Amino acid sequence: MALLFALVLDPVASENRGPSFSDTFRVVDPDGPVLPLGELSAQRGDGVFESIGVVDGHAQEVGSHLERLANSAQLVDLPAPNAPQWREAIARVAAEAGPGERVIKLILSRGVEQGSSPTAWVTLAEAPDSARARTEGVRVVTLDRGYQLDVPGRAPWLLLGAKTLSYAVNMAAIREAKRRGADDAVFVTSDGYVLEAPTASVILRFGEKFVTPEPHAGILHGTTQRSLFTHLGRRGFSTAYEAVLLGDLRNADAAWLLSSVRLAAPIASVDGVEKPVDRAFSDELNAYLLSPRD
């Protein structure tokens, strides 16, 4: 994704500054040198991030993304993001988006090794073309995540519920999926429970009920998934967070991968076995997800 615009923030700006934080961030060349070589985001992936979908200049679900950024920061012992400052920075970046779909990334890093403060920046980029995934669906393979369902509770230092910059495993999983002739992967525990995709939440449909794996199982609580569950509840469907077995994914009436940028991508096959794609319903879901949401 080509970067279009970028801001660097002062993440330790005082909360008592008055109504504006505009002097706490600066516009930088998105293609130019910005970060020092000692930056721990590059050296160790030591930081957290969020990706926000932007539709026709409107940044989607900003509040939910900032809540999750704050939760991730807490899990990795970073200072709490100053929400009003980040909101103002997001609005400044979104103003550069123009028509169509874009993606804003929020990054909060440990900073320079042995430095005195974290580093923070916000970028705007072109969004990938997700039209085919939203209509025709995606083929997924299931990959063993290498731990049992109860590990996140026993080993919180693994940071399995934080959206960290350490995404090498996630990217490796997608490459492995492509080597197996699929488009994406779904992680499962060693004892057979569905978790999430490398960059997306998983939801399943059983009749009039929609289910997603419980977020306390060491997965990200999806902002798009939460918004969609609210919408589905208003439509009269039931929604639930449950322990989801691999057999549930294979036997569900329908299933989708959900993310802030790709939105709702129906799952067309699991481990080579085709699943029905309800294109009309998927179109309806994506029409909601493309509507302005705060």
**CA-wise closest residue to 154 among 216, 201, 221:** 216
pLDDT tens profile 66-77? 999 999 999 999
Q: How confident is the model at residue 172 (pLDDT cuts 50, 70, 90)?
A: very high
Separation between Cα atoms, residue 72 and residue 53, nearest integer Å: 19
pLDDT, position 116: 81
Q: What is residue 4's predicted lDDT score, i.e. its pLDDT?
A: 96
- Mark which of 126, 152, 167 sits at the end of a domain: 126
User: 270 and 251 in one domain?
Assistant: yes
Instruction: Identify the pLDDT of residue 72.
Output: 96
pLDDT of 15: 65
Specify the pLDDT at position 100: 96
Q: Whole-prediction pTM value?
A: 0.95
Summarised one tens digit per residue, pLDDT across range 123-132 is 999 999 999 9
> Could you write out the DSSP letters of every residue in the chain?
--EEEEEEE-TT--S-S-S--GGGEEEE-TTS--S-TTBHHHHH--EEEEEEEEETTEETTHHHHHHHHHHHHHHTTPPPP-HHHHHHHHHHHHTT--SSEEEEEEEEE--BTT-SS-EEEEEEEEPP--HHHHHT-EEEEEEE-SS-TTHHHH-GGG-TTS-BS--HHHHHHHHHHHHTT-SEEEEE-TTSBB--BTTBEEEEEETTEEEEE-GGGTS---HHHHHHHHHHHHTT-EEEEE--BHHHHHHSSEEEEEETTTEEEEEEEETTEE----HHHHHHHHHHHHS---
- Asked if the model's pLDDT at residue 203 lies above 90, the reply is yes
Q: Are residues 54 and 19 in the same domain?
A: yes
Both 59 and 81 in one domain: the answer is: yes
Q: CB atoms < 10 A from the CB of 125, how many?
A: 20
Could you tell me if 104 and 146 lie in one domain? Answer: no
Among 95, 126, 157, residue at a domain's last position: 126
Query: What does the alpha-carbon distance between residue 5 and residue 294 come to, in Å, rounded to a whole number?
Result: 22
Range of the domain at 211: 131-290
Q: Which of the residue ranges 6-15, 96-105, 233-242 would you say has the lowest mean pLDDT?
A: 6-15
Query: Which pLDDT value is given to residue 279?
Result: 96
Same domain for 240 and 263?
A: yes
For residue 274, what pLDDT is reported?
97
Residues in contact with 268: Cβ distance below 8 Å, sequence separation at least 6, in sequence order: 136, 137, 138, 139, 274, 275, 277
- pLDDT tens digits along 95-123: 999 999 999 999 999 999 888 899 999 99
pLDDT tens-place string over residues 14-35: 667 778 999 999 999 999 999 9
57 and 77 together in one domain: yes
Query: Is there a single domain that holds both residue 73 and residue 25?
Result: yes
- What is the band of 271 on the pLDDT scale with cuts at 50, 70, 90? very high
pLDDT in tens, 134-165: 999 999 999 999 999 999 889 988 888 899 99
Whether residue 140 is found in the same domain as residue 261 = yes
Confidence of residue 13 (pLDDT cuts 50, 70, 90): confident
| pLDDT (mean) for 178-186 | 98
Tell me the CATH number at 19: 3.30.470.10
pLDDT (0 to 100) of residue 2: 85
Residue 248's pLDDT is 98
Q: pLDDT tens digits, residue range 204-222?
A: 999 999 999 998 888 999 9
